[in-house]
Amino acid sequence: MEGKGRQRVIRIRGARQHNLKDIDLDLPKDALIVVTGVSGSGKSTLAFDVLHAEGCRRYLDAFLPASHFTLGSLWRHERPDADSIEGLQPTVAIEHKRLPADPRSTVGTVTEIHDFLRILYARLGTMVCPACHLPIRAHTIPEMTQEVLRLPAGSRFLVLAPLEPAPHAQLAKTLARLRREGFARIRFEDKIYLLDPLPALPRRKTYPIQVVVDRLILKDDASRRLTGSLELAAQLGNGRVVVAVVDGPELSFSQNRVCSRCGWTAPEPTPRLFSHFHPEGACPQCQGLGCLQGTRKARSSRITLVPGEAAPCEACQGTRLNDRARSVRLGGRSLGEVSAMDLGAFRRWLQELAVEPSLEAVVSGPRHQILQRVEALFQLGLDYLPLGRGAWTLSGGEAQRLRLAQQLNSPLSGVLYLLDEPSVGLHARDRRRLLRTLSRLRTAGNTVLLVEHDLQILRWADWVVDLGPGGGTEGGRVLYSGHPDGLGRCTQSLTAQFASGARRLGFSHGPPKGPADGNGNTLQLRGARGRNLRDVTVTFPLHGLTCVTGVSGSGKTTLVRDTLYPAVRNLLHRSTMTALPFDALEGIHNLQGVVLVDPAPIGTTPRSIPATYTGVFDLIRNLFANLPEAKTRGYRPERFSFNTPGGRCETCQGEGRQRIDMVLLPDVYVTCPTCRGSRYDEATLDVRFKGHSIADVLQMTISQALEVFQNLPAIRRRLQVLADVGLDYLRLGQPANTLSGGEAQRIRLARELGRRTRGHTLYILDEPTRGLHLHDVERLVWILRRLVQKGHTVLVVEHHLPFIACADYVIDLGPEGGPGGGRIVAQGTPAELACKGTSHTARALAELKQ
């Protein structure tokens, strides 16, 4: 068709990975492509398990050195199940995962901005004595000479090395001693004492005096000889020279840095001094962590505790750097101070940095590199981040945008970039900026493929692929592939129905709202001051669905997850979580419980499955242990567990498959030859319920299981909530590490819904719409509404506009991110905000309403 030239399309034929139904697809190159579809329809499978897996496999050699991101993902990928994939470019996946939990990594180090700053500080920084606050610098010999020559005529001075100041009165004595010792053959000449070259000078000793100068008359080559003396003195004194002026001030010079007042001294700074990864620069107390228990907290606690926040290291005040590194200033500020600024303030500081023209050449390279990186971070709405912020404290969305920013700095071309929902965590205001950035990547000659649900992004794309119609086995077909304008004609597609406006969510559309003002009970948090919060007092209505909104970095998480949640929990459940500071919490007597539905993945091992996670498997195992056959054999419930020895297959230890380690190639999994994937031994499988063994149960989808267990209320109730959150297609035994993000979060939600609660519970959710198609969002709103109808309160941190429009009440933080945020800028019903609000959220809601 196209001859031998470069193919204009990526041709996929017969893809059958996971739930994909033998699909054929042609994707245009050098285009912005959006893959969309309801949750579980196969989007990630297509993007990551087919395209990226094949890209990694094929371009293994070319990309190994270039990108360490690919290296990690490489190990997971096997050859995808497809007949052929042609025209594929090398792939780079920009993942939606938190950055590695190295507690020393910061925004600055991850973006390399810190590395360029280290060069600037080392080359241009002024060192300030920590005790005397005097700037101290190193001197060159010509500088020393000039200083000495500037002394008033008639001064008598003494050049000393090393530093130990010799009292002036001892001048004569010292000279005498020197003569006695026989090495300093001091010559008198034009009243300038100079040392002879000292070939025989014994090196083991340091000599207090080299030169005595009486500069009554300085003529001819006196200055040259003075220079010679100073050079010699510096050599003998390890770079340090003191010029004692008889009856005058004492000048101290050093080729090292030394404070002339207290003698505090430091070698010339090198870039290494400014690295908290290196012993030369790291604070010795905290070893560059900025806090003392940061690491442990980072891993074990659900709320984010921050180095420098929970227990800032006292020695370095959380800056991670030692005294010496912090004594160096550039543009009046230490690197610790600069790292604490948000990127906006940082950029101003850098642009205003005045340097001598002679040093411009040194500065311009690093400055350019830094500004380029800062610009990319700005474009992606990360301007509120400070460079010193621990990388592990960034959310998945922030981490992804940081990775994306890095790609923009060293743009490749001819690459297929794959991104999973880059809009997560982004306020509507910032989506445009994101789109412009992605368009730039495309214009640079790349193909950009996004897995996305956001309609605004979808309309902007060059090409849309819609998968569906449902999730799991109900999905995996291509409903539409083409320009976004044509999508509306595809009646089968839920995406199309929303995109054309035939179906809508938000305001008067979607699930009915609760009573306008509930029963008037409220929960009031007063004087919250954590991080950027400006002493805010918030009144949360109870018995309703409330959204906390605001641009990224405005303080939503700080307020809800890190202040309110631990505060309520500590009071209600006598826990001792760290809550960020606040003055008072009122109205707590209205609540009996609080639950945080965490967005993190539910399991990283194949041993965790939906059945175990939701607790339904315990009930099923009890059921099996109570069957007559099990009783006769004396099988207890543990027998039916694949995680403990007893009934499981010992060849694979209950995993059903075995991993074959390949040293330099992706791991290969093979079905366990003993149990043939069933995870259990033969005897255990003999026990059957309605003809199904325990292994059969794990193979059932939730809707099949609902039928099999319909007469067992406890089991049915738990399965029903899974079906209610839209996971009826999922298999009970699907390994948790293979669930999509949206699936994982809904399982977590289902677990919370399946619990029997005592009285009024406050449910807190953090961006529950991530990974969800509008159709799924609609379903989510129904579930949350049901909670409200049962008398509970739901508080959600969200960016998703149609979702926000479905809420009863909105509390909007801002106006901007970081130090420019932390206040309540609007509150009210979504309709009220849309009518009269002036905040970013209010404006976006008003646009949505039109």
Hey, what amino acid is at 526? R
User: Which residue in 109, 339, 497, 554 binds ligand ADP (CB under 6 A)?
Assistant: 554
By CB under 6 A, residue 422 contacts ligand ADP: no
**Number of residues in contact with ligand ADP under rule CB under 6 A:** 37
Among 566, 733, 818, 830, the residue binding ligand ADP under the rule CB under 6 A is 818
Confirm or reject binding of residue 39 to ligand ADP (CB under 6 A): yes
Peptide bond preceding 162: is omega within 30 degrees of 0, i.e. cis? yes
Cβ 476 to ligand ADP, closest distance in Å? Answer: 7
Contact 651, 658 (CB under 8 A): yes
Query: What angle is formed at CA 387 by the lines to CA 382 and CA 391, rounded to 5 degrees?
Result: 80
Q: How far is the CB of 673 from Zn ion (least distance, A)?
A: 8
- From 466, 473, 516, select the one nearest 493 (Cα to Cα): 466
Applying CB under 6 A, the span of 353-361, 556-564, 586-594, 684-692 interacting with ligand ADP comes to 556-564
Please tell me whether residue 558 adopts helix, strand or coil conformation.
Answer: helix
Report if residue 45 touches ligand ADP, rule: CB under 6 A.
Answer: yes
The residue with tokens 């939990």 is 101
Residue 304 binds: one of ligand ADP, Zn ion, none (C-beta under 5 to 8 A by kind): ligand ADP
Q: Which does 313 bind (CB under 5 to 8 A by kind): Zn ion, ligand ADP, none?
A: Zn ion
Give the long-range contacts of residues 722-726, CB within 8 A, separation 24 or more.
722/610, 722/614, 722/616, 722/747, 722/750, 724/750, 724/753, 724/783, 725/749, 725/750, 725/753, 725/779, 725/780, 725/783, 726/39, 726/471, 726/776, 726/779
CA–CA distance, 69 with 820 (Å, rounded to integer): 33
Choice from 44, 174, 275, 322 touching ligand ADP (CB under 6 A):
44
Pick the closer one to ligand ADP by CB: 339 or 393: 393
Q: Which residues lie closer than 8 Å to 99 by C-beta, 6 or more apart? A: 105, 110, 391, 392, 394, 399, 402
* List of residues contacting Zn ion (CB under 5 A): 283, 285-286, 313, 315-316, 649, 651-652, 672, 674-675
Site string (469-488) toward ligand ADP, x via CB under 6 A: --xx----------------
Helix, strand, coil share (%) of the chain residues, nearest 5? 40, 20, 45
Quote the CA–CA distance of 450 and 93 in Å, as a whole number: 10
Q: Please identify which residue in 107, 136, 159, 385 interacts with ligand ADP, judged by CB under 6 A.
A: 385
What DSSP element (H or E) covers 348? Answer: helix 343-351
CB of 731 to ligand ADP, least distance (A): 8
Cα dist from 799 to 181, 694, 769, 771, whole Å: 83, 42, 9, 13
Q: Is 746 in the site for ligand ADP (CB under 6 A)?
A: no
DSSP per residue, 695-763: HHHHHSBHHHHHHHTTT-HHHHHHHHHHHHTT-TTSBTT--GGGS-HHHHHHHHHHHHHHSPP-S-EEE
In whole angstroms, the minimum distance from the beta carbon of 683 to Zn ion comes to 14
Chosen from ligand ADP, Zn ion, none, partner binding at 285 (C-beta under 5 to 8 Å by type): Zn ion
The answer to the question of residue 111 lying near ligand ADP (CB under 6 A) is no
Task: Find which of ligand ADP, Zn ion, none residue 316 binds, CB within 5 to 8 Å per kind.
Answer: Zn ion
**What is the rounded CA–CA span in Å between residue 358 and residue 365?**
14
Residue 672: which of Zn ion, ligand ADP, none does it interact with, CB under 5 to 8 A by kind?
Answer: Zn ion
- Please, are residues 69 and 92 in contact by the beta-carbon 8 Å criterion? yes
Query: Of ligand ADP, Zn ion, none, which one sits near residue 385, judging by CB under 5 to 8 A according to partner kind?
Result: ligand ADP
* Residue 420 interface partner, choices Zn ion, ligand ADP, none, CB cut-off 5-8 Å depending on type: none
Q: Is the CB of 40 or the CB of 830 nearer to ligand ADP?
A: 40
We find the least distance from the C-beta atom of residue 663 to ligand ADP, in angstroms, to be 23
552: partner contacted, choices Zn ion, ligand ADP, none (Cβ within 5-8 A by kind): ligand ADP
To ligand ADP, the closest distance from the beta carbon of 772 in angstroms equals 9
Cβ of residue 275: shortest distance to Zn ion, in angstroms? 14
Is 254 a binder of ligand ADP (CB under 6 A)?
no
The residues in 81-100 that bind ligand ADP, with binding defined as CB under 6 A, are none
For 121, other C-beta atoms within 10 Å of its C-beta total 23
Q: What is the Cα–Cα distance from 646 to 630, expressed in whole angstroms?
A: 13
Shortest Å, Cβ 686 to ligand ADP? 28
Torsion angle defined by CA atoms of residues 693, 696, 700 and 703, in that order, rounded to the nearest 10 degrees = -20
Instruction: Show contacts with ligand ADP in window 712-741 (CB under 6 A).
Output: 734, 738-740
Among 12, 34, 43, 397, binds ligand ADP (CB under 6 A): 43
Q: Which stretch binds ligand ADP (CB under 6 A): 43-51, 655-663, 827-835, 838-846?
A: 43-51
Contact letters for ligand ADP, residues 502-531 (x by CB under 6 A): -----------------------------x
Closest distance between Zn ion and the C-beta of residue 7, in Å?
44
**Which residues on adjacent β-strands are paired with residue 761?**
593
Contact criterion met (CB below 8 Å) for 268 and 256:
yes
Which of 681/724 has CB closer to Zn ion?
681
- By residue count, the chain amounts to 850
CA distance 2 to 53: 26
Residues 271, 275: Cα–Cα separation, whole Å: 7
Find, among 668, 651, 481, 492, the residue nearest to 76 by Cα.
668
Q: Enumerate the β-bridge partners of residue 465.
A: 35, 481
| Three-class SS state of 99 | coil
- Per CB under 6 A, contacts with ligand ADP among 301-330 are 304, 306, 309
When binding is defined by CB under 6 A, the residue of 447, 558, 641, 839 that contacts ligand ADP is 558
Work out what residue 393 binds among ligand ADP, Zn ion, none; the CB cut-off runs from 5 to 8 Å by kind: ligand ADP
- How close are the terminal C-alpha atoms of the chain, in Å? 46
Establish if 468 lies at the interface with ligand ADP (CB under 6 A).
no
Q: Which residues bind ligand ADP (CB under 6 A)?
A: 18-19, 37, 39-45, 304, 306, 309, 384-385, 389, 393, 471-472, 531-532, 550, 552-558, 734, 738-740, 742-743, 817-818
